[in-house]
């Protein structure tokens, strides 16, 4: 009689190599580059609400708002010119580019605000966001 004994079938587990892998420890130093991004947001507010005392008298281009109209209705300026917008009405107005190129925000009665003309030649229609029938055109020509 033969008795075959199978040596415990699940047994041979011994040959497992545990490799000690030296995972190179690298220190990832993340230098915060977020500062540059934060600065970008500031640019939007740059020139919108600085009162420009008598820039018109000193010869710079100017637009006057009176009787719910822009004077002159069409103004031609150099690229990047600073344009003084003065509101002589008794209510607030804006001078807002239809393409988003510039915007005075609300100009209060008696107040002057300076906008910066686009640097690219072109015709830039604008309007008043409060009274949308008010419209004018800024022409940029270098």
Summarize as ranges the residues that interact with Cu ion (CB under 5 A). 93, 128, 130-131
Q: Which is nearer to Cu ion, 108 or 119 (CB)?
A: 108
Closest CA to 64 of 43, 85, 79: 85
Q: How far is the CB of 93 from Cu ion (least distance, A)?
A: 3
Q: How far is the CB of 125 from Cu ion (least distance, A)?
A: 15
Q: Give the Cα-Cα-Cα angle 35, 50, 98 (nearest 5 degrees).
A: 85
Q: Which is nearer to Cu ion, 55 or 128 (CB)?
A: 128
Q: Which is nearer to Cu ion, 79 or 106 (CB)?
A: 106
Closest CA to 123 of 73, 89, 82, 86: 73
Q: How far is the CB of 139 from Cu ion (least distance, A)?
A: 21
Which are the contacts of 134, defined by CB distance < 8 A and separation ≥ 6?
A: 65, 68, 69, 70, 93, 127, 128
């Amino acid at each position: 009689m033969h008795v075959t004994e199978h040596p415990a079938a699940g047994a041979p587990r011994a040959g497992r190599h545990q490799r000690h892998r030296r995972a190179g420890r690298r220190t990832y130093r993340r230098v915060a580059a977020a500062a540059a991004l934060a600065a970008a947001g500031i640019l939007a507010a740059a020139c919108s609400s600085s009162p420009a005392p008598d820039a018109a008298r000193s010869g710079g281009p100017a637009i006057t708002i009176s009787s719910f109209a822009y004077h002159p209705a069409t103004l031609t300026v150099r690229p990047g010119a600073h344009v003084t917008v003065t509101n002589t009405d008794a209510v607030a107005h804006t001078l807002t580019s239809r393409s988003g190129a510039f915007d005075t925000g609300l100009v209060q009665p008696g107040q002057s605000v300076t906008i910066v003309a686009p640097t690219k030649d072109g015709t830039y229609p604008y309007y008043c966001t409060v009274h949308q029938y008010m419209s004018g055109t800024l022409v940029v020509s270098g």
